[in-house]
Amino acid sequence: MITGTSKNLGVIGYPIIHSLSPAMQNSAIDAAGLDAVYIAMEVSPEELTAAVKGLRATGFIGWNVTIPHKTAIIPLLDEVDENARAIGAVNTVVNRGGKLIGYNTDIIGFCDGLHEKGVSLKGKPAVVLGAGGAARAVLQGLMLEGAASITIGVRNPQKAASITKDMPLKVPVQIVDWDSEDMNSALKDTAILVNTTPLGMAPKTEGIPPVDWGVLSPSAFVYDIIYTPAETRFLKEAKSHGHDTQNGVPMLVGQGAAALSMWLDTKPDRTAMRKALEAALLAKEKAQA
């Protein structure tokens, strides 16, 4: 029940009506019996400064930040954590006694997906497909996990060049055309292949990034950060070639759980969050059909 003492949480974005976060976060709040509520707030780019001022003034204890505000919000905060600064994107704000601190829990969520499957990347090479916003979080996650080198395969290497210019890199990172021989050399030795492109995401489930499965190291772990459908064509193909796989659901749950634990100092019930997320995804699929 929402009362006068309930702590306020939410997500800002534009548009926001399709956000799955309210269902997922309120399920964890309910499961833990916490006195808090999480709502979706539509904030246009023109109103971002006013909205942040308002959330601070009304004492919101924290909020998530989604497209298109993840970078624009940075100068409006009092402090930004090192990992969020490295990728130039904040997806979680924590209000600590009036001080607004920005974090990026997509990085944590991505790593959760690896830990869930017992994958260790220490000292090993990695390959990432795509170089957009999510790829930056994945890149940072791979570096935190100790990957020795990273190859980014894209359709347009020139366009992707900013990713390596903007981010502080702890290991060698090369950007290659995903139809090139360089790509095949990287696939041959890699310990992991991660898809961060939207190819294969619902409703265009026929999409798949180009991978020569005959070349990919047989022991490579294959990770698709897409969460709808739960099994993309990319993951189906990987499984049929004998690879262990992970989808984007644990990353989505993990980023939400990490945010909630920072706001409410709690250990969120991930099973409840996952169930609520899956129900919300199903409802979304039915609405689209």
- Footprint of ligand NAP (CB under 6 A): 106, 109, 130-135, 154-156, 159, 196-199, 201, 225-227, 248, 251-252, 255
Contact 274/247 with Cβ under 8 angstroms?
no
HSE of 40, CA atoms in CB hemisphere, 13 A = 15
Nearer to ligand NAP, 95 or 151 (CB): 151
Nearer to ligand NAP, 95 or 249 (CB): 249
Closest separation in Å from C-beta 53 to ligand NAP: 27
Contact 226/232 with Cβ under 8 angstroms?
yes
CA distance 83 to 96: 18
Closest separation in Å from C-beta 113 to ligand NAP: 8
- Which residue number has the CB closest to ligand NAP? 132
In DSSP terms, which residues pair with 42 in a beta bridge?
A: 13
CA distance 277 to 243: 26
Nearer to ligand NAP, 88 or 198 (CB): 198
Closest separation in Å from C-beta 99 to ligand NAP: 27
What is the CB neighbour count within 10 angstroms for residue 14?
A: 16
Contact 176/145 with Cβ under 8 angstroms?
no
Nearer to ligand NAP, 80 or 199 (CB): 199
Closest separation in Å from C-beta 196 to ligand NAP: 5
Q: Is the peptide bond before 203 cis (omega within 30 degrees of 0)?
A: yes
What is the CB neighbour count within 10 angstroms for residue 115?
A: 12
| Helix segments in 190-232, DSSP class H | none
Nearer to ligand NAP, 15 or 132 (CB): 132
Closest separation in Å from C-beta 108 to ligand NAP: 11
Closest separation in Å from C-beta 235 to ligand NAP: 13
Active site residue 170: no
Nearer to ligand NAP, 95 or 135 (CB): 135
CA distance 278 to 260: 19
Element (H, E) at 92: strand 92-96
Among the options 7, 53, 70, 124, which is catalytic? 70
What is the spatial order of strands in the sheet that 245-246 belongs to? 173-177, 149-154, 125-129, 192-195, 221-224, 245-246
Token pair in block for residue 138: 């994945």
Catalytic sites, residue numbers: 70
